[in-house]
Chains A and B, each alone.
Chain A
Amino acid sequence: MLFIPNVILVVLASLIVNLTTTVIEWFLVYRTEDFKRLSDEIKESEKKVETLKKNKESVIVSNTSLKKDDKAPKNSKDRQIEAYQKRIKDANQQLTMFRMKSTLATGVVMFSAFGMMSSAFDGLIVAKLPFHPFGLLQGMSHRNLPGTDETDCSFLFIYVLASMTLRASIQKYLGWTQATPSMFQMPEEFNEESK
């Protein structure tokens, strides 16, 4: 009989889970007309804001009579930029609401898969680490394992690493990362205030 090491089984399980959640997301979100409309609206508005900002900057640079400290009154370009930014914000909110169903569905799949894997691999040493993990990492890599050898590795650490890389790569390959608003994106209001 073919012997597959546990560490490979964990990676394969992560692959299956990630492919399943991708199919669910595609079915509930990415193939729909509403999603396409909203993401197109965001892209177009972002392009327009960028162009308007560029035009505004070039006008300020060319206008040498304006002092740097003077606060210019809001002109039509500012108002247009604000309108487009509001449109982007609204579309992003709608997109978040729209994705709620798929987020719930993928959450259920991931939770059940994790439960199944826990019952299969919990307490088993699936790999040996070539380094000494520290802090939080150790809590994950040595979770529920017997003994004090910190280079023993539990399934959880391998599963998390595999999920991180597989999910990001699948989404990148499908070109989905553009449509997802970044978690670390600074709000526009903050950028304006900090100037």
Chain B
Amino acid sequence: MPPKKTLKKDEEVKISLWKKVGQPRQYSWEKDEILEVIYWQKQILSLILGITWGVLKLQYLPVIIAFLVMIGAASYFVGFQILPGDETEGVGGPWPVVTEGGMPAFATFLLAWIITYTMCYY
């Protein structure tokens, strides 16, 4: 495994999160950066799931439970398998990663699901 790129402070600011996400194991990560990526990953996934399940006319409580399980599992996968959450200081285990941005993501999912369902079938 190649050594991680160590950057001067000025350079670090210039490295965008996008670039880091492209090669996550090449750079050292801060706790806040990991949580930020997790936040946006949750938002995008919630939007996609909401629209898809609205179009497919999926209904009722099991859909909400399935969403919560999927979003939690996806966050864990992104935080600890793709990003180096386990090697980053201060992340504090799986719980902060799984719950980061949970409420806004849930709101995005409900909004996308309700709007798509309403527009497609009413």
Contacts and interface: CB of A to CB of B under 8 A. Distances in A.
Contacts, number: 67
A130 B114 contact: yes
Given A168-B101, A169-B43, A130 B54 contact: yes
B65 to A, nearest CB: 11
B113 interface: yes
Interface string A156-176: 001001101100110010000
Contacts of A161: 107, 110-111, 114
B115 A130 contact: no
B120 to A, nearest CB: 10
A131 B118 contact: no
Contacts of A127: 114-115, 118, 122
A178 interface: yes
B104 A130 contact: no
Contact of B121 (A7, A11, A128, A158): A128
A45 to B, nearest CB: 16
A165 B107 contact: yes
B60 A172 contact: no
Given A132-B60, A169-B43, A172-B36, A8 B104 contact: no
A153 interface: yes
B114 A129 contact: yes
A5 interface: yes
Nearest to A178: B32
A87 B61 CA distance: 48
A52 to B, nearest CB: 15
Interface in B23-66: 32, 36, 39-40, 43, 53-54, 57-61, 63-64
Given A161-B107, A165-B108, A168-B101, A130 B43 contact: no
A164 B117 CA distance: 20
B1 interface: no
Interface in B89-122: 101, 103-105, 107-108, 110-111, 113-115, 117-119, 121-122
Nearest to B115: A7
Contact of B104 (A132, A158, A165): A165
B55 to A, nearest CB: 11
Nearest to B118: A127
Interface string A1-39: 000010110010000000000000000000000000000
Interface string A37-61: 0000000000000000000000000
Nearest to A131: B60
B13 to A, nearest CB: 12
Nearest to A173: B40
Contacts of A131: 59-61, 63-64
Nearest to B40: A172
A153 B32 contact: no
B108 A130 contact: no
